[in-house]
A = this chain, B = another copy of it.
Amino acid sequence: MLTTKLLFSFAVLVLQVYFASAIDDSHAWGYECINSRCEKIQITPANKETILDLRVCRLYCYDDIGTLWPKPTRNVTFLKSVTGVNPNYIKFTTESFKNNEFFEVAKERFIAMQKNKVKNYTLGGLDLNIAITAENDDMELNYDVYEGYSITIISNTNAIEVMISSKNFFGARHALETLSQVIVYDELNTKLVVLAAANIQDEPKFKHRGISMDTSRNFYPVNIIKKTIDGLAMAKLNSFHWHITDSQAFPMEVKSHPDFTKYGAYSKSKIYTADDIKDVVKFAKSRGVRVIPELDAPAHIGEGWQKKLDLTTCVNYMPYLDYCWQPPCGHMNPIKDELYDVLEDIYREMLESFTPPVFHMGGDEIFFSCWNTSKPLQDWMLNKNLTLDHDGFLELWGYYQTNALKRMDKVGGSKLPIMLWTSELTEEPFASKFLDKDRYVIQIWTTGDDPKIQRVLNSGYKVIISNYDAFYLDCGFGSWAYDGLIWCSPYNEWQKVYDNDLNGMGGERIDQILGGSATIWSESIDEHNLDSKIWPRASALAERLWTNPKEHWRNAEPRFLMHQMYLKSSGGLASEVLQPEWCVHNEGLCQL
């Protein structure tokens, strides 16, 4: 392993090589690293040779590393200097991923990202040689995957040598992401530069880190979904939970039942075909992101079921609040055997197109009043000695869940962890009766201080945290059915996302928390405002889940501001700006 001493032996040389060029006279300000803070300084003839570009100064002017996001969890050693990189000479060497198509994509993406950073290139800089060693090239991104990595950077007179080692593709890919974050464009000297020497060892604290995105209430084109997944990769988020259907629209192609999209898609151009889905899944995997499909059921259905109304209850009933939270209402009718045949068809096709490591079966917001509109259903329940009340309908729901799962298992999903939203079914005694704790993972969407969290953990389930008072990125805006604000207001600012206390929620059962997911419910979000709702707040989530820092958001803020700029400049993401640019230039002076 590279020692700090060895790292420093390269420093003098590198500094000499780097500071050869002069700064264009039109620049008025530069930065100096003074007492571990980048201070804005007027450029003068006297300081012209030593003054730094903002990004360069922020890269290393700290005791811990200045621009990495999320913050590494293990060793970080680095030299406080940079060396120029020639973006046209980036080479990879690896024996580990010889015929791995995903690696080819990751490689090309890395090279393109570096080239995109360069605005006005002054010739020069060294070759960047990246050597990667991995133990295996397994491509299953399940919850057993180890995503850790180590990376070493050494500059010599001829080249910059980067050595990456990891257990698998996913760790190696994260290492490339880290490497990309220590390569910055120096605007003062019009050069691409990299930390001259560094050694970083890193691994995530939580296994599930991502977003839950609803593509039913408003539709997102495939390229927008890909752009979002690209962003996830930049923050080392690894899960894209795709809430692909809901009562308002059914945009997912089901070849065996073409009427779902024919009647349920908003238009013929607003459909995710099986090929689209395969394309997204592949795109995501090459970026270290698992795609978890959700078929929300037995509630949250309506559009698309027009030709199967006999398998449903209360579709389009009004006034809607009597039967569901949002128009149009609709539930599956669990007593219909044909319903499970249809589910089997859908599951079969979803397993084929998504090849998922985890499957989400939904299970939120069941209204017993919706089921209770059906006389045959009532008769069936009474016939089975089920009461037409809370407990009876929960038994019916359990019956549905059991039968739906059987069909999932029948078509090849028997090894998959199954996710469900918290509901009355995930509460005892029903949870233990119907939901195997070794099979089901519960996604918690209550408030962070709700005792329900501890109850679900005590029942033994593994959980994903999506408490709406921190991780719901859609909160805080106008309601769409009345005036005033949406139920989940106010807005969850990035500080709240960052400080969301998973340790407090987990307590002694913290190990059952697989991670967290930030939601994008799309009643008032579409492709036009998506980026600014997700970014940079999903990155605040990313550090919570990768690093689980003990420190308050204030410690992270200067680094977060740089990361937010990186999301824009390198990711092309229309990330929400957090402060006047003045605060970026004047580190720490905007905090109260």
**Is A574 an interface position by the 8 A CB rule?**
yes
Contact assessment for A581 and B490 in the assembled complex, using a CB-CB cutoff below 8 Å: no
Minimum C-beta distance from A489 to chain B (A): 6
A interface residues, how many (CB within 8 angstroms): 69
CA–CA, A490 and B496, complex, Å: 16
* Binding stretch for chain B, among A77-85, A153-161, A427-435, A527-535: A527-535
- A494 / chain B contacts, CB cutoff of 8 Å: 478
Minimum C-beta distance from A509 to chain B (A): 28
- A482 / chain B contacts, CB cutoff of 8 Å: 591-592
Contact for A580 among B248, B580, B586, CB less than 8 A:
B248
CA–CA, A216 and B581, complex, Å: 9
Known A-B contacts A480-B590, A483-B553, A494-B478; A581 and B528 likewise in contact (beta carbons under 8 Å): no
Contact for A491 among B328, B477, B568, B583, CB less than 8 A:
B477
- A575 / chain B contacts, CB cutoff of 8 Å: 528
Taking CB atoms and an 8 Å cut-off, the chain A residues in 88-124 that contact chain B are none
* Binding stretch for chain B, among A169-177, A260-268, A358-366, A460-468: A260-268
**Is A26 an interface position by the 8 A CB rule?**
yes
**Is A585 an interface position by the 8 A CB rule?**
yes
**Is A327 an interface position by the 8 A CB rule?**
yes
- A327 / chain B contacts, CB cutoff of 8 Å: 582-583, 586, 589-590
Contact assessment for B493 and A579 in the assembled complex, using a CB-CB cutoff below 8 Å: no
**Is A424 an interface position by the 8 A CB rule?**
no
**Is A476 an interface position by the 8 A CB rule?**
yes
Contact assessment for B217 and A581 in the assembled complex, using a CB-CB cutoff below 8 Å: yes
Minimum C-beta distance from A480 to chain B (A): 4
- A586 / chain B contacts, CB cutoff of 8 Å: 327-328
**Is A137 an interface position by the 8 A CB rule?**
no
Nearest CB in chain B to that of A522: its residue: B580
Contact assessment for B217 and A582 in the assembled complex, using a CB-CB cutoff below 8 Å: yes
- A481 / chain B contacts, CB cutoff of 8 Å: 590-592
**Is A28 an interface position by the 8 A CB rule?**
yes
- What does the 1/0 interface line of A253-288 toward B look like (CB < 8 Å)? 000000000110011100000000000000000000
Contact assessment for B249 and A582 in the assembled complex, using a CB-CB cutoff below 8 Å: yes
CA–CA, A525 and B578, complex, Å: 8
- A262 / chain B contacts, CB cutoff of 8 Å: 28
- A582 / chain B contacts, CB cutoff of 8 Å: 217, 248-249, 266, 303, 327-328
Contact assessment for B218 and A528 in the assembled complex, using a CB-CB cutoff below 8 Å: no
- What does the 1/0 interface line of A208-219 toward B look like (CB < 8 Å)? 000000001111
Known A-B contacts A491-B491, A495-B483; A218 and B581 likewise in contact (beta carbons under 8 Å): yes
Contact assessment for B483 and A577 in the assembled complex, using a CB-CB cutoff below 8 Å: no
Nearest CB in chain B to that of A485: its residue: B490
CA–CA, A279 and B522, complex, Å: 39
Contact assessment for B529 and A577 in the assembled complex, using a CB-CB cutoff below 8 Å: yes
CA–CA, A529 and B178, complex, Å: 27
**Is A345 an interface position by the 8 A CB rule?**
no
**Is A479 an interface position by the 8 A CB rule?**
yes
CA–CA, A568 and B590, complex, Å: 36
**Is A576 an interface position by the 8 A CB rule?**
yes
**Is A45 an interface position by the 8 A CB rule?**
no
CA–CA, A122 and B85, complex, Å: 53
- A480 / chain B contacts, CB cutoff of 8 Å: 578-580, 583, 590
Contact for A585 among B42, B266, B477, CB less than 8 A:
B266
Nearest CB in chain B to that of A319: its residue: B592
- What does the 1/0 interface line of A564-576 toward B look like (CB < 8 Å)? 0000100000111
Minimum C-beta distance from A345 to chain B (A): 20
- A219 / chain B contacts, CB cutoff of 8 Å: 581
**Is A294 an interface position by the 8 A CB rule?**
no
Taking CB atoms and an 8 Å cut-off, the chain A residues in 48-97 that contact chain B are none
- What does the 1/0 interface line of A22-35 toward B look like (CB < 8 Å)? 00001111000000
For this complex, 6 residue pairs linking A to B, each with C-beta atoms less than 8 Å apart, are A217-B582, A266-B582, A481-B591, A489-B490, A522-B580, A529-B532
14 extra interface residue pairs, beta carbon distance < 8 Å, beyond A303-B582, A326-B580: A26-B268, A27-B268, A42-B263, A217-B580, A249-B582, A266-B582, A481-B590, A482-B591, A482-B592, A483-B493, A483-B553, A490-B490, A528-B568, A529-B529
**Chain A contacts to B: CB under 8 angstroms:** 26-29, 42, 187, 216-219, 248-249, 262-263, 266-268, 303, 306, 318, 321, 326-328, 476-485, 489-491, 493-496, 499, 522-526, 528-529, 531-532, 553, 568, 574-583, 585-586, 589-592
Q: Which 9 pairs of residues, A with B, have the shortest CB-CB distance? A: A478-B493, A483-B495, A528-B574, A217-B580, A248-B582, A529-B532, A480-B579, A526-B577, A248-B580
